[in-house]
Amino acid sequence: DSKLQTPLFVGQFDGTAEQAQLPGKLFTQNIGAHESKAPEGVLPVSQTQQGEAQIWRREVSSRYGQYPKAQAAQPDQLMSDYFFRVSLAMQNKTLLFSLDDTLVNNALQTLNKTRPAMVDVIPTDGIVPLYINPQGVAKLLRNETLTSLPKNLEPVFYNAAQTLLMPKLDALSQQPRYVMKLAQMEPGAAWQWLPITWQPL
């Protein structure tokens, strides 16, 4: 539901309570674009509290941004016609970061158990290091392809994609989801090769 260039990064914060504002300070200092029309040369960071989560957001100009300029809080200060709403959130010890604020919001809903988590989908009997979702991959590649090849600007490549690529993506989207499973290891067990099992979902 996002783009290739806007993944969600998830990490753990091991700092003390006194250091809890450090991620927000680093975000404020390092995330942003030069906005010459803004009084401080960069748009301000908004900090909000949402339940147990602290959220920092900054609108950042980019020609590849997800939102049109008109949706910005201060559109007259943006240097591009599009922008990202870059977001960082911290809930308890979990850090969430993405150029796509929707992914951060979805992740917070998952942490708060108001949105399904992967643990509700994948099997629990064993170790699952890999999850493959052909429908999601096909949808992402289709959207990215059509976005990068506007029909009125790239008619030749657009028609080639419609003829050669889209049928393959349609076929990919019909494939089942799979997980790769490894057998559960006993704590302290010696190093060994493990059999791989591919399980459809």
Instruction: Give mean pLDDT, residues 58-81.
Output: 93
Q: What is the pLDDT of residue 126?
A: 83
Q: Is the pLDDT of residue 41 over 90?
A: no
Q: What is the pLDDT of residue 11?
A: 94
What average pLDDT does the structure give for the chain?
A: 91
Q: Is the pLDDT of residue 83 over 90?
A: yes
Q: Is the pLDDT of residue 163 over 90?
A: yes
Q: What is the pLDDT of residues 88-104, one digit of tens each?
A: 999 999 999 999 999 99
Q: What is the pLDDT of residues 121-140, one digit of tens each?
A: 888 888 899 999 999 999 99
Statement: the pTM of the whole predicted model exceeds 0.85: no
- State how far the Cα of 36 lies from the Cα of 76, in Å rounded to an integer: 11
Q: Is the pLDDT of residue 17 over 90?
A: no
Smallest Cα–Cα separation from 158: which of 168, 170, 149?
149
User: What phi-psi label fits residue 92: left (phi over 0), alpha (psi between -120 and 50 degrees) or beta?
Assistant: left
Q: Is the pLDDT of residue 87 over 90?
A: yes
